[in-house]
Amino acid sequence: MNRIERLFAQKPHNVLSIYCTAGFPHLDDTISVLQALEHSGADIVEIGIPFSDPVADGQTIQQSGGVALHNGMTLDILFQQLRGVRDSSHANVQIPLVLMGYINPILQFGVRKFCQCCAEVGVDGVIVPDLPVELYEREYLSAFQEYGVCNILLVTPQTSDERIKRIDTVSKGFLYAVSSAGTTGNVLSMDAEREAYFTRLAALKLQNPVMIGFGIADKTSFDDACRFANGAIIGSAFIKAIGKSQNLPSDIRHFISSIKN
């Protein structure tokens, strides 16, 4: 049982996942942000791999990625930063860590090498929004399985029940339910259409836990999402909260407290 599976076995409800961009606000902030998130009560951290053409991301995350790239963040540097992240004598971060990024940088890095590096540094899972399930099954599933890295796939309101079930059988760790069509950063409005979508997901009795993302920005939207799923993912609102931080641990603690308390 990996860290993600262990988390959901111990805490099946109200799981809070926070997205942060690697190398933002500053190149060397990545580990400090991870430590502060764990100490503040986040359950999972998704570490965004900055990319020059992030098609699923809204303005806030795009801008944070641009800053991180300007700071010099690369996949090589990220893996260097994450070495020792699980070591009790170093960073000692024990909550599940997931890398989220687009397929192009991973292909350039090498998929098998990428999975190997994830396993070596203690990354539990990967989210690649532009990796189709068919291509993943045909080309890359074996590498992820070999190194024990969860590939967390996405579904949307437009995904058919049949395809959701197929994606669920291939996904490992949890299923990422995109709340609505569009990019990250829009605040979730729980209307009848979204309620019907989330209710439909719950009725499918999927094998993976479900985490809702896109538009989760505050306690209200987090609590609304948790009524229909195992938890929710906050990205843009967190990036905004730390973008001009003068005291990361304090500001992160305050942000997490505003969601959970």
CA 54 to chain centroid? 14
Which SS3 state, helix, strand or coil, does residue 51 take?
A: coil
User: Which one of the listed residues 29, 38, 57, 124 is annotated catalytic?
Assistant: 57
**Could you tell me if 18 and 236 are in contact, meaning their C-beta atoms sit under 8 angstroms apart?**
no
User: And the tokens for 137?
Assistant: 């099954």
**CA-to-CA distance for 14 and 149, rounded, in angstroms?**
24
* Helices (runs of H) and strands (runs of E) counted in the chain: 13, 9
User: Which one of the listed residues 29, 38, 43, 46 is annotated catalytic?
Assistant: 46
Is residue 57 among the annotated active site residues? yes
**Could you tell me if 211 and 175 are in contact, meaning their C-beta atoms sit under 8 angstroms apart?**
yes
**CA-to-CA distance for 73 and 76, rounded, in angstroms?**
8
Identify residue 168 by its one-letter amino acid code: D
Q: What is the per-residue burial (b if ≥16 Cβ within 10 Å, else e) of 1-30? A: eebbbebbeeeeeebbbbbbbbbbbebebb
Annotated active-site positions, please? Answer: 46, 57
